[in-house]
Amino acid sequence: MAAHMKPLVLHAHATGPNPVKIAIALEALNVPFVVKSWDFSDDPEKGVKGTAFLQINENGRVPALVDPNTGVVSWESGACMNYIRRVYDSGNQIGPSGNSAQDLVDFEKWEYFLLSTLGPMTGQVNWFRHYHPQKNDDALQRYITQTYRCYDVLEGQLQKSGGTSILPSRITTVDYHFEPWVRQHSFAGLSLDNYPLITKWLGLMGTREEVQEAYCKIRAAAGK
Ligand SMILES: N[C@@H](CCC(=O)N[C@@H](CS)C(=O)NCC(=O)O)C(=O)O
């Protein structure tokens, strides 16, 4: 990256999975960035539902990514990731490895599967397990079943690479999207015992420098 580049600002949370994906991608591309950590309150200065943060993202959720080099502000992890790829991955290090119509669809379908299904289903497990004020076992069970169904689909896909990457060709942002959600399985009370390839893939992801650095920066910004 050019030495004169100003660091991007990644708005994040101490433990929320979605900002982690963006930190991993920025690390992979050596794009300089700083992390600003928020809590989930409506505190005007510190919370994602407070006035300061709502000026960055009117949806009141992290990640948000501010790029002082271009003036672009993005939010929704899918949009942040696509922005990073368009602007900072001109050598295509982390995008789809092939250029055929099928390669591009394969890449997008796995990203969308995480963004629309595995991530939100896991999020609902977390909600009904940890935060919902009334006990609701039916809802909890529904989302547990749906998340395990997603794990079944992912386990099947990982057979194509022997558990080394979600797209068989190489590690891409698809892996970065999945990593923090799958890593939080135990917080959601979910087990990987029936998923040997997911277990292998998660172990390999955890050894990667861009992943380790991303978690370090997000934790440090939150004072953890
Ligand atoms: N679909 C959004 C989800 C963003 C999201 O839900 N972020 C969580 C943290 S991982 C959040 O900010 N939660 C705050 C809240 O629920 O109020 C994305 O992919 O970025």
163-207 per-position pLDDT tens digit: 999 999 999 999 999 999 999 999 999 999 999 999 999 999 999
pLDDT for 216 = 98
Of the pLDDT bands very low, low, confident and very high (cuts 50, 70, 90), residue 1 is low
Of 61, 114, 121, the residue with max ligand 1 atoms within 8 A of its CB, to mutate for a pocket test, comes to 61
Residue 6: CB atoms within 10 A of its CB come to 12
**pLDDT for 7 beyond 90:** yes
Which protein residue has the closest C-alpha to ligand 1 atom 6? 61
Domains defined for the chain, CATH in brackets: 8-94+210-221 (3.40.30.10), 101-208 (1.20.1050.10)
Average pLDDT over residues 14-24: 98
Largest alpha-carbon pair distance within the chain? 54
Ligand 1 close to Cβ of residue 8 (< 6 A) = no
Please, are residues 106 and 166 in contact by the beta-carbon 8 Å criterion? no
Of the pLDDT bands very low, low, confident and very high (cuts 50, 70, 90), residue 3 is confident
Average pLDDT over residues 81-100: 97
Of 42, 62, 114, the residue with max ligand 1 atoms within 8 A of its CB, to mutate for a pocket test, comes to 62
Across the chain, what does the average pLDDT equal? Answer: 97
DSSP annotation string for 28-58: HTT--EEEEEEBSS--TTTBTTSHHHHTT-T
Q: 1: closest CA among 92, 88, 67?
A: 88
**Which atom in ligand 1 lies closest to the alpha carbon of residue 76?**
20
Average pLDDT over residues 143-152: 98
Strand order in 64-67's β-sheet?
33-38, 8-13, 64-67, 72-75
Q: Which residues of 189-202 are buried (b: 16+ CB within 10 A; e: fewer)?
A: ebebeebebbbbbb
Please, are residues 50 and 39 in contact by the beta-carbon 8 Å criterion? no
Q: Which residues of 25-52 are buried (b: 16+ CB within 10 A; e: fewer)?
A: bbbbbebebebebbebeeeeeebbebee
Q: How many residues does the chain have?
A: 224
96-139 per-position pLDDT tens digit: 999 999 999 999 999 999 999 999 999 999 999 999 999 999 99
Please confirm whether the linkage preceding 63 is cis (ω < 30° from 0).
yes
Residue 60: CB atoms within 10 A of its CB come to 17
Percent of the chain whose pLDDT exceeds 90: 98
Ligand 1 close to Cβ of residue 11 (< 6 A) = no
